[in-house]
Structure 1
Amino acid sequence: MTTIATARTDISAAPTLDLDCAHLFTPEEAAWRDKVRAFTRERIAPTVDADFEDRHFRRELVRELGALGVLGMHIQGYGCAGASAVSYGLACLELEAADSAWRTFVSVQGSLAMSAIAKWGSEEQKARWLPELAAGRAIGCFGLTEPDGGSDPKSMRTTARREGGDWVLDGAKRWIGLGSVADVAVIWANTEDGVRGFLVPAGTPGFTATEITNKLSLRASIQCDLAFDGCRLPADAVLPGVTGLRGPFSCLNEARYGIIWGVMGAARECLGAAVERSRTRRVFGKALAELQLTQQKVADMAVEYQKGLLLAVHIGRLKDAGALTPAQISVGKLNNVREALSIARTARTILGGDGVTSDFPVMRHMANLESVRTYEGTDEVHALVIGHAVTGHRAFA
């Protein structure tokens, strides 16, 4: 297999544009960026095309990512790095530049499962699970989405009922990242008091996870169907700190924040591949980069990449200041995923027919971004959140 995909173009080679906005980051933030970039280029990039082709999740990297410090890196204490929001964003950008599957893993582990425990768990639950998850010695998953509608969690059918001193869980979840390899699952279910979160250890009787194997996207990642059939849990399995959808939504916003940054990594790689190819491929007696229409495409991609990165920085600074709102997260998620996909599609046109091969990373990123566009809130959902914030009127069904 040709390995053009790993021969990355440094788009910061245009110093008058400063496309990567390097001047905006503190030394600590830049150090996180550089550390994660080096890791992805050494440990992920060399095998990522084969892993995508083979539907292979490289589990041995989990502990390495724990040692790197990126698992739950925004959480304070319990073996977590306690890094800034911008540092976490830059880590997500570099992970997704390698492949969306690995930013997805870090999001599921840290922003979803670990955040749920950190925000809403008991002290005993935090002490039991957070250090193990931060080190990569354990894997977590987060079960909210159900087969009959991911965008409508209020219609949740999974239930948990009290039976003596225990809880009994029944229902199903779908598209749950890491479900089949997780040591603990954070599962949201309807109770007589409202939606509650439960910690379900792997191997609990009545809990099964089945991998979804016919994916054409996120193939180097694991997504599953989960089923609960009379799954009995002890009284202390419930997350005591929250009742209602505020619990899972607070975690989803952590994951959405990471997406805002992550997809810019995928966009950067697509833009870099297109620029490099345009410089080296000759048509009509000149480099493709010398054609005006090619330069128009490159200019449009560069502008949208930098706008998306600046939006991510703005949102990250708001988050670090404690001033970020859910509607602002929706602005970032809607815009940056949409523009990353547009950049990938435009880059593919510059690559010509070769752009649909694994010689270049563009089709892999494009396919992955279709999943990212759907999960953690579709375009339609985020548009309604933004519309409500702007007009003051709710338009949800």
Structure 2
Amino acid sequence: MSHHTLLIGMKSFLALPLLLAFTPPIKAQTGERCFSETGFCISGRIREFWEQNGGLPVFGFPISPLQEELIEGQPFQVQWFERNRLELHPENRRPYDVLLGRLGVERLNAQGRDWFMFPKSVPQSGCRFFPETGHNVCGAFLSQWRANGLELDGRPGKTTAENLALFGLPLSGVIEETLSDGKVYQVQWFERVRLEFHPANPPSYQVLLGLLGNELRFPVASQPVSSPTPESVVVTGNAVAVREGPGSSYPEIGQLAQSSELDVVGQFNNCTWLKVRYRSQNLTGWIPGEQVALLKRCDAIPLGTFRPITGVFLREAQSDGKGELTIENGTDQDGVVILTVNNIPQLSAYVRSHDALTVSGITDGIYQIYFSTGSEWNGREFTVNASYRKFRDMLAFETRVSDDTITYTIWRITLHPVAGGTAATDNVGRDNFPGVGR
């Protein structure tokens, strides 16, 4: 048996944590620091706090002078910034004498949106679940949440308390909204901020804090893109199992009694499976479509997102092949690998973060290898933090028979950077990325 191993070492690292560029802490200063970009200055405790806790990436430029405002009915000295509002609370000891406004909540209220009505979730593997609000934070948004925070203890690294002091609790899952530039982005709302994913930016600046200060100080007539109104249905079966994903192989996470009232929030495989939300138990999962009576047409229900189990989606021309491919995914994102011949998918496989999969029975041939990483899979693609790449070199599988000896090809690829790796990858446009099946 001939054994060929391909260690994938990317020229540009993939799926590394996305971090804000923080300004290192400096000694407190009492003089003014002025910004020609907006014409306002910061000084004293506000300047010290701004410079020690992130500066421009976290707060943005000042957009007002230090002034008195009523906050929850009480007068405080505050200063507005592009991304937040800093409030002086001299009644508190340092570092709690400067607090951030709850601009995420205030912005949602200004839009007439009740954050409690955002669809709730259940704990998901690889994510940070917040039972206080019923939401997960995953992927690049979770990396951002964990890596950044206000400085409270003077020690290296960020504690959960410091993360919460900057972001607050999540108020929503990842949703799509139209921002001030008129484009639709994936965002997640928190008590104090809105995290946004900007895929066109360099990797270190793809996750940004929204300009909530600007939006509240200078409101414009814009409406967020909202999800379709979920259809309310009643369960017709009895003791219906609710599963993590659209299939009986997924773990059961709950049961529904007959006549339970549900919201349908997604579908898969032409409504063979429905993603439903059971509000009274704060439960969201998948049930067979035959267990409810739908009033909407299936094509009016959006594809629901889920996390597939590591395994093969599609096999074509794999009946008597001998080749073997091992896929290792050491990234913090789930991945999909697709083998094509003449741009036609021959094999597609899902590999969860920090998991591996070995596929045998691959037919002889020369294959182009594509892979995508991200989260919130909808059966076709990742809907959050999706990236699309291909290996520059082709993979050749060959079987040889001589006398009573059979030799065949074994490849091993990794989706994470490997020291001494031998393969380069290239970015691929979303429109040029093959589908997982025909």
Fold match by TM threshold 0.5: no
Q: Which structure is higher in helix share? A: 1
- Which bracket does the TM-score occupy, shorter chain normalised? under 0.3
Q: Which structure is higher in strand share? A: 2
Structure of larger gyration radius = 2
Normalised by the size of structure 1, how large is the TM-score? 0.27
Normalised by the size of structure 2, how large is the TM-score? 0.25
